[in-house]
Chains A and B, each alone.
Chain A
């Protein structure tokens, strides 16, 4: 295993020192934001290959809080699984397993 520090590790503060309001409003629909971060994660965490939006700055504090909470959940598989059990039916969970096999 190589121990080289990545770009992210060496310059984390600078790397995410950008406002991401516009970006996340393009990526997430109004229907997405109507969900709690917990339910969004249950239904959609599997669709994200990479996720770091919780590390950016936000002008809109509500948007920032929603994304930061989502990031906390997405970074913790146990939370994702917990919210799947809370919000989804067994059929929906099975459908996500199938969707997760889709390559990008």
Chain B
């Protein structure tokens, strides 16, 4: 039995929502994402933890969702429109994202997928930052 519900947009097969509530009912939480199979890119643009799960649980749930969504080994994972304050502050200060809250989430996600992050790539845009991690698999 999966720990999440993965919902595919009927109008756009690359648009998904992972609902984390099943992992700890009542804790809600989930993530929205867009897949770009031509670039092997999984772009997360909304994310809230399940409030009833222990710390560092979210990355594993995201990995499960990517398996269900048919992209078990993305080459690039994007955090689109980062709002987490400490990560945003670090990126504004020149960090590449490694060791930040969102960076650590991606480390756990990539580890759960069996890969390693080989490049950190913050992308500045008007109003904020996206964060890309480039991933390789053995």
**A102 an interface residue at 8 Å Cβ cutoff?**
yes
Q: Which of A48-98 contact B (CB under 8 A)?
A: 48-53, 74-75, 77
Q: Which residues of chain A have C-beta atoms less than 8 A from B15's C-beta?
A: 18
Q: A4-B121, A6-B78 are in contact. Are A27 and B30 (CB under 8 A)?
A: yes
Q: A49-B79, A51-B81 are in contact. Are A7 and B36 (CB under 8 A)?
A: yes
Find B125's partner among A9, A51, A52, A100 (CB 8 Å cutoff).
A9
Q: Who on chain B is nearest to A53 by CB?
A: B46
A50 contacts B81, C-beta separation under 8 Å: yes
B55 contacts A75, C-beta separation under 8 Å: no
The 9 closest A-B pairs by CB, nearest first: A52-B45, A104-B58, A50-B47, A49-B84, A104-B105, A49-B47, A6-B130, A51-B83, A23-B17
B residues adjacent to A (C-beta < 8 A):
7, 9, 11-12, 15, 17, 19, 21, 28-32, 34, 36, 39, 41, 43-49, 51, 55-59, 78-87, 101-102, 104-105, 121-125, 127-128, 130, 132
17 A-B pairs with CB atoms under 8 Å apart are: A3-B124, A4-B121, A4-B123, A7-B34, A8-B78, A18-B9, A18-B11, A23-B46, A26-B17, A26-B28, A27-B46, A47-B48, A49-B84, A50-B47, A51-B81, A102-B55, A104-B101
B44 contacts A50, C-beta separation under 8 Å: yes
Q: Which residues of chain B have C-beta atoms less than 8 A from A5's C-beta?
A: 123
Residue of B84, B125, B127 with most chain A CB atoms under a 10 A cut-off: B84
A residues adjacent to B (C-beta < 8 A):
1-9, 15, 17-20, 22-23, 26-29, 45-53, 74-75, 77, 100, 102-104
Q: Which residues of chain B have C-beta atoms less than 8 A from A6's C-beta?
A: 43, 78, 80, 123, 125, 130, 132
Q: Which residues of chain A have C-beta atoms less than 8 A from B87's C-beta?
A: 49
Bound CA span A27–B82, Å = 18
Chain A binding surface, main DSSP class: mixed
B81 contacts A49, C-beta separation under 8 Å: no
